[in-house]
Amino acid sequence: MLKVMLFVGLLFPGLLLAEDSDTRVYIKVGEASIKKSLIAVPPFALLSTASLAPNHKQIGTDLFNTIINDIEVSNLFTIIKPEAYLEDPTKVGITPAPGNPTGFHFEIWSKINTEFLIRGAYKISDMGQLEFEIYCYSVPQAKLVLGKTYMASTKDARATAHTFADDLMKALTGKTGIFRTKFVAASDRAGHRWKEIYVMAWDGRDIVQVTNHHAISLSPSWKPNGKTISYSSSAYHPGLKSRNWDLFTYDIFAGKRFLISSRLGMNTGSTFSPDGDWIYLTISKTGDPDIYKINTDGNDPVRLTNGPRKTMNVEPNVSPDSKKIAFSSDRSGNPMIYTIDTDGSNPKRVTFAGKYNSSPCYSPDGKRMAFAGRDGDHFDVFTMNVDGSDMMRLTSAKKPSGRMANNEYPSYSPDGRHIVFTSDRSGKNQIYIISIDGTNERRITVDDYNYFQVRWSPYLEGVAN
C-alpha cells in the first residue's frame, strides 16, 4: 500500500511555497517541442542506517533510474549532466538555504540555467518500509512546486517512483502523467506455438501472464475502467471437434475469465465503447466477417456492417465521443480504413494511399487516428486527421538484414502524446513507443520473445496495481 503525505504549510524562509490552490502551469505541453526545460536530478540521499537494508543501494538505484527514465520519456525536459553541477549535492541538504543552514543554494543552480531542481532522500525501516521524501523546485522563482513523502514497502520502490513522476507531470503541466499505465499484448513467451495474453507496466517491467489457454490468443483490448480486458482465443469445442475463435473477457484483479461470444466462426478484434457498456467486434456467423456490437454479457447483438458480400470488415475502434467507428475493410479491393456512425450508417472511406491499411486507433481527443500502412513490402505507423487529411509517417527502421522492418498495431497513450507499436526491426517482434511528432522513439521490451497487438491502458489512477 502506497501512502502519500503532501508538504502543505511547510515554508522555508526565503522560499515561496506552491500551495494546493496554485493552478499555474509551468510547462505548456504544446510548446515543449520548441524548447525543453532544463532539469537537474541529483542522486537521492540515504537517510537510514545502511545495515537496516542490505539492498538499500538497489532500492535507491530503482527509485532514481525509474524517475530519470520517466522524465526522459515525457519528452519535456533536457536533463543536466552531473559534471555541469557547480554545487556538490552530497554535501548539502535537499531543502534550500537559508532556511536550512546546510541546504542548497538557488543562485548556484541558476548559474547553469537550471529551471527545475529535483531533490530527494529515502530511508528504510527495519520492517522493510520505504519512506521517500522528494521535492521539485522552480529555480528561477526559488519556489517549491511539489513536495511529498511517499510511504511504501521496499518492493514497491519502482511503483513509488512512477507515482512521483505522475505527480510531477501534474504539478508542472496540469495534465495527468502516464507512468502508472500498462500495456496488454499477445506474446509467445509461454513457448510452443501458443500465444497468450500478458499485462506489463508501460516500461516493459513486471510482465504477468493473464491467460492460459494453451492456444493462440490475440486482439486484447482494455475496458475503460482499466480492470478488465477482452481478447479472442482459438478455443477447442468438443462438440465441433475443432477450434473456434471465441471472445473472452478477463477481470485482471479478480483473476476471473468469462466467455462472451462463441458464435460459430470469428469473434475477434474486440474494443469497448467509451462508457464500457458495449463491445464492438467482428463476427462471421453469417459467413462474411462483419462488425457487430454486443453488450458485455455477449447478448443483444446488433449488426453494423453488411458486406459487401465476401469482404472483411474488421478491427473496429470507437471514437472517444462514441459517435464513430473506424475499421479496416477490403470492400474497395485492398484493405483500407473506413468509418461509420455507431448505428452503422454513413460509411466513409478515409484512406486511399498504399495497398494495405489496417489497425486504426483514435487519439484520446478524437482529432486524429493512427494506423498501420503498407509501404512496398513492409508496414509503418502513420497518423492522420480523422477525415484522412494531413497524413504523417512516424516510423521507419531496418532489420539486421538491411530489409525494411514492419511497424504495426499502433495504440495511443491516454494523454495522446505517445504511441505504442510493435516492430520486428531487431529480428523479433518487440514493443516500442514514439512521440506523436515522430521523435523520442524508444524500445520497451528487450528479450527474445515476440509481442503482438499491443494496447495502451487508460489512466489507472485509483486502480490497484
pLDDT value for 20: 40
pLDDT value for 3: 67
pLDDT value for 30: 64
> Which fold is adopted by the domain 183-456?
Neuraminidase (2.120.10)
Q: CATH 2.120.10.30 occupies which residues in the chain?
A: 183-456
Q: pLDDT band for position 13 (50/70/90)?
A: very low
Are the C-beta atoms of residues 18 and 135 closer than 8 Å to each other?
no
**Candidates 3.90.245.10, 3.40.50.10070, 2.40.30.10, 2.60.40.10; CATH matching 3-173:** 3.40.50.10070
Residues in the chain: 465
**Cα–Cα distance measured from residue 451 to residue 218, given in angstroms and rounded to the nearest whole number:** 10
Q: CATH 3.40.50.10070 occupies which residues in the chain?
A: 3-173
**Cα–Cα distance measured from residue 164 to residue 162, given in angstroms and rounded to the nearest whole number:** 5
Q: pLDDT band for position 463 (50/70/90)?
A: low
The mean of the pLDDT values for the chain is 92
Burial of 405 from C-beta contacts in 10 A (0-12 / 13-18 / 19+) = buried
Q: How much helix, strand and coil, in percent to the nearest 5, is found in the chain?
A: 10, 40, 50
- For 372-420, what is each residue's pLDDT tens digit? 999 899 999 999 999 999 999 999 999 999 999 999 999 999 999 999 9
Distances (CA, A) of 167 to 67, 160, 178, 328: 11, 11, 10, 38
Q: pLDDT band for position 6 (50/70/90)?
A: low
- For 170-196, what is each residue's pLDDT tens digit? 999 999 999 999 999 999 999 988 999
Q: Is the whole model's pTM more than 0.85, yes or no? A: yes
- The answer, yes or no, to whether residue 205 has pLDDT greater than 50, is yes
The average pLDDT across 281-291 equals: 94
pLDDT value for 51: 56
Other residues' Cβ atoms within 10 Å of the Cβ of residue 400: 9
- The answer, yes or no, to whether residue 207 has pLDDT greater than 90, is yes
The average pLDDT across 263-267 equals: 96
- The answer, yes or no, to whether residue 293 has pLDDT greater than 60, is yes
